[in-house]
Structure 1
Amino acid sequence: MPADLAVIGLGHLGLPLAQAAVATGIDTIGYDTDPDRLAGLAADRTHHADIRRLLSGGFRPITDPAELGRVRTAVICAPTPLGADRALDLTDVADAARALAARLRPYTTVILESPVYPGTTEEFLRPLLEEGSGLRAGRDFHLAYSPTRQDPGSRAPSYASTPKVIGGLTPACTESAAAFYGRLTDKVVRARGLREAEMTKLLESNYRHVNIALVNEMAVLCHEMGVDLWDVIRCAETKPFGFQPFRPGPGVGGHGVPMDPSYRPPTGGALRMVGLAQDINNRMPQYAVQRCATLLNEHGKSARGARVLLLGVTYKPDLADQEGSPAPEIARRLMDLGASVSYHDPHVPDWRVHTVPVPRADSLYEAAAAADLTVLLQNHRTYDLQGLSVKAQLLLDTRGASPGGAAHRL
């Protein structure tokens, strides 16, 4: 049965789009080149209700890619993780493109939503689609890019109230993509072209990384000076203009794509400030471990042999997603110092650091009372920090979420 929309890639990018489409009555199918991805998503307890609502709304996950040739719009939402060389891995995008290209029909609108570097849609995706289909982008089918704007786990703003940026290979491509997204969102913003839309995503991600790096540096400086940074931020955010609050932490996680310093656009330039920001943010796990060792030492204990309990190992509160979480590096560094590390996370039933299983605490308060040091890495809603501060022998709060004076803060 033909569908209006095919979402290709059913991970953290494709699920919100599929939800929004189904909610507005768009007949939607979902396909993933990795058949285990949807199963893994369904097994994630934070997405149970989402999957049930999708299926009850008529969403159809498909296993036969032949059905991709019977849709009006296909949106590629494949993941683009950083590889070992810190460059984007476009393997899943390529697999999605090949699966679609073999069935691509004239007049179909193809949109890429995966985070990519500027130029990827035209120079990487377009040839795969054209070679596999025999069709020509901009003449036989529409090709566009639209950056994702998601805040996983957040209850606001909604998909419909978040403006959607569109950039097409041609003006007609832009208008075709805009017509589709106009059914899902209240406002569509037309970029000048593909690269402008791709660069929009990069600017938004870099803005976050640079500002987090600033407050991370401020956290280190304020600790050395005996200044309460969290109170400083509380005061600064009362300014009604020219300031947006960001907060420090033990590292930066998530799926955003910062401009890696090793990336060089065709002009040969680079964003030096972003490279410096990444260096600062990448040092935060080491700084968090340094603070752990110092706190233990100040209380007459050595990191070697110390029992350290890590609370929250995901990259964001109240989600199971561990993409880019600083927790594994912090755990590894503590283990290298000789500490005995355990963890607690209501969303992660099993956790490994470089294939080494980390013991999970069943009873949170008992584990905190037994640990020499408890470290809050992620502030899940279920954590009672006031109660934990009473039970824990020593509590380091890397998120500034505990009541004043209840814990040592990063």
Structure 2
Amino acid sequence: MEWYWMLTISFLFLLVLMGVGLPVFVAFLIANITGVLLTLGEKGFGMFSNSMYETLTSESFVTIPLFVLMGEILFRSGAVDVLSTALDKWIGKVNGRMYYLVIGLSTFFGALSGAAAAVAAMLGRSILPKMQKLGYDTNLTNFTILGGASLAPIIPPSLLVIVIGSLVRDTSIAGLLVAGIIPGFLISLILFLYIYFRVSRDPNLSPDNNAGVENYSTKEKLGEVLKASPFFIVVFSVMGLILLGVATPSEAAATGVVGAVITASIYKSFHLKMLWESLQSSVKISLMIVIIVASSKLFGQLLSFMGATSGLIDFVSTLELSDWMMFFILMLIPFVLCMFIDQFAFILLAIPLYAPIVSAYNFEPIWFWTIFLINLTVGSLTPPFGYTLFALKGSANSVLISDIYKSAWPVVALFLASIVLFYFFPQVITYLPSVL
């Protein structure tokens, strides 16, 4: 059988399994077991066990359960509520203040969660009803939640970055983590400017919501910063140590957990029950991830064994496409497919095929995979099937899905504009990794 038929059948089989509603890790397991039996027979299961062992013993994998545990402890520590209060007081009496608050909170929540759908659902449950009650514009409110939530996979520490770094060889995970800092905050600034432009042109988008807002003194604002300062112990123990070159991502993940425990203790919310609940949740999530990552590695090995990977590389090399055309094609695929399937699932499907092409075209790895990650985020909020949209809809029944669609397009446009910016100015992404 020709390589392209093998490749097509493999991917269609996986997509069908996911399409019938099976969890990603179950779909990968079934596809891999079927592939092993058809191509290698029973002896091929040794390859599966080796893939599982390699994943479990990989130093980079240790970062995943540790980052998950860190986020779980912080969410239960009360740090989120303290941050929200501090940001609220610092914003003060500004037209459209709740819009800015949402973007600011999303930036911090993204650093804790790393999942756009999770942040969208959380903001949809907590902030959106309050903004509706105050009379904020529905479409611009949805815009701020979708835009802010989409920062989560980009701003470190991000689980998707760890997974990409674990699957792509010869690419520094520390470099990938740090690479998201400037793009993440730059996109956040672009969202701020868009909101400022919209509110300035149409004051009706922002109700008279400053009636009950106090003018806080500088001393009071600094007091709120002091209250929120324990959170920055976590930030320093993770990204600070990586930037200083003191710790690897695995070591920084461990110090991040210690920082989260210290933060929870300072807020007097650390107790054995909270720790036990955090550990339980972390184990469930991490076990699912290890099965998926191991299955993805085996899937890539099976594609190589069947000759699909080498066939694809040979085919691409005969196309003689320019660098920018190949870059465009590689970005167009996730933009379209992530409307239909989960970001995590697409990463595991795409990396075994993308990695050799990226190497063949000599794309700078950290630059390419960072833009790839941003593009995945865009795909997941593009109508009509972006799952971040449904996460917001699921948490806010009072909002029409048609209104969410309308709100999503400006976010998509701004993120695509940022991708174009990062393509022509790669230093925005590569500067921080280069000084590590």
Common fold by TM > 0.5: no
Normalising by the residue count of structure 2, what TM-score does the alignment of the two structures yield?
A: 0.29
Q: Which one has a larger percent strand, Structure 1 or Structure 2?
A: 1
TM-score (norm 1): 0.30
